[in-house]
Structure formats: C-alpha cells, structure tokens
Amino acid sequence: MCCSGFLKIMMFVFNGGIFLAGAVILGVGVWVKVDSGSLLGILDTLEDAPSGLSQLVNVSYLLMAVGAVLLVIGFLGCCGAVRESRCMLLTFFSIVLIIFLIEVAGAVVLLVFQGLADQLFQSLEKEVKTSIGKEYGRSDSFTSLWNATMEEFKCCGFKNYTDFDGSPFYNDHGRDVYPHTCCNTTITVGACNTNEASRSMIDGCFDKLLQLIEDNALIIAIVVLAIAAFEIAAMVVSMVLYKQIGNKA
C-alpha cells in the first residue's frame, strides 16, 4: 500500500510537470498564431519557397497541437493513477512514448539548425528578393506585412536596403527613397535615401531571424529534453503501477 501511494504521488508530480509544459507550449502556439508581424508570415507569400521550409508557417498549429496533447496526457496519467485503470495507464504510456520520440527528433533538428542556415539562406534569397521587387509598394497586404516585420525585428529587407531597388515603392518615390526602417533615425536627416541607408547599414530581416533562432535553439532544446525526462519518468512509473494493479487483480 505504501509503495502504491508513493507511485501515485510520483505520477501526480510527473504529470503535473507535463500538464504545465503543455499549457506553456499551447500558449506559445497561440501567441505565434496571432502575431501578425511575424517574419513567418512572409514565407506564406512565397510561391516557390522550398517545400520543407514553407511548412514553418504551420509552426503555430504544431505547437498548439503538441500543447493540447500534453494537457490531455497529463490529465490522463493522473486520472489513471487515481482510478487505478490499467487501460488508461496503458493509453497514457503509448501516447507519451509517441510524443517523446517526436520531441527528441525536434530537439535534434534545433541543435543542428546552425548547419542548415546557409542552405536556407541560399534557397530563399532569390525568391524573397524577387517578391520584394514585384510587390513591395504595389500590394497593400504584402507591403504591410513587410513593414510590420521590419518594425518588429528592427531590420531592413531580406539582406539589406538594396533589396528594394527597382520595387514599385522605390520607383514611386523618385528612385532614391527606402522604407524608414532602413535608416538609423538617430543619424538620418530627412528622407531615408541611398546615402542615409548605406551609412546606417541596418541588418537584413533574415539575418535577424537566424540570429533569434540560433540564440534560443539551445535553450529550446534543453527545455524539450527536460520535458522528455519528465515523460520518461512518468512512463516508467505508469508501467510499474500498471503491473502492480495487474498483480492485485
């Protein structure tokens, strides 16, 4: 009885951690979805983006799905322990095992992301620059999306201010005016023209995005692996409890 009570307490502890992690991941997924200024939105406007990379626009749905599943299995584990239901414990174990394998694969991808950065850059650069040259200043939705992105990341274009050369915006403003985010407002006098933009040399948005992901990739991977550790412990305890309940039957 003492051992059974201890196992139930451990199930509550481990599943409480899983439940809280699910709530956090779900919240992040919702935040990414409603963040209209995200650079991921730009990828959705590209017609010929690499098939694998284009799936990044669905990252919010993936986060929400994983978060919801973690919430469910956290509840399922606790409920199975309290009711001493072998069926619920076995279902819990199976679902957690699948989630665990997915999370480990995701952590590995994040850890090797830096090695893929150059390849992603080469695949996207031409396509994004072509879209800017055709649509920026002509399409209101495209222009608004880029403006919001540049404001949010404090960046200019895909690589730098020259990406806007020849765009409808550039031509409509006398062929020597760039978006104001391409100039450092503390040193710029008047309009953001070629001289001011070259003097400011604001970083491109893709470089900023890569830096953001690379800076946080290790932290994200550690968090995912910590969740995985909770899940391993919960799986072990659930199987021990499952066997113990079976012996009592």
Summarised one tens digit per residue, pLDDT across range 4-21 is 677 778 777 777 777 887
Q: Is the pLDDT of residue 164 over 90?
A: yes
CA distance 99 to 20: 15
Per-residue model confidence (pLDDT) at position 163: 92
Per-residue model confidence (pLDDT) at position 51: 46
Per-residue model confidence (pLDDT) at position 56: 52
Across the range 150-164, mean pLDDT stands at 89
What H or E segment, with its residue span, contains residue 171?
helix 168-172
**What is the model's pTM?**
0.55
Neighbours of 113 (CB within 10 A): 17
- The pLDDT-based confidence of 107 (bands split at 50, 70, 90) is low
- The pLDDT-based confidence of 114 (bands split at 50, 70, 90) is low
Choice between 129 and 247, residue whose per-residue pLDDT is larger:
129
pLDDT tens-digit profile of 116-126?
A: 655 666 667 77
Q: Specify the long-range contacts of residues 139-142, CB closer than 8 Å, at least 24 apart.
A: 142/45
- The pLDDT-based confidence of 162 (bands split at 50, 70, 90) is very high
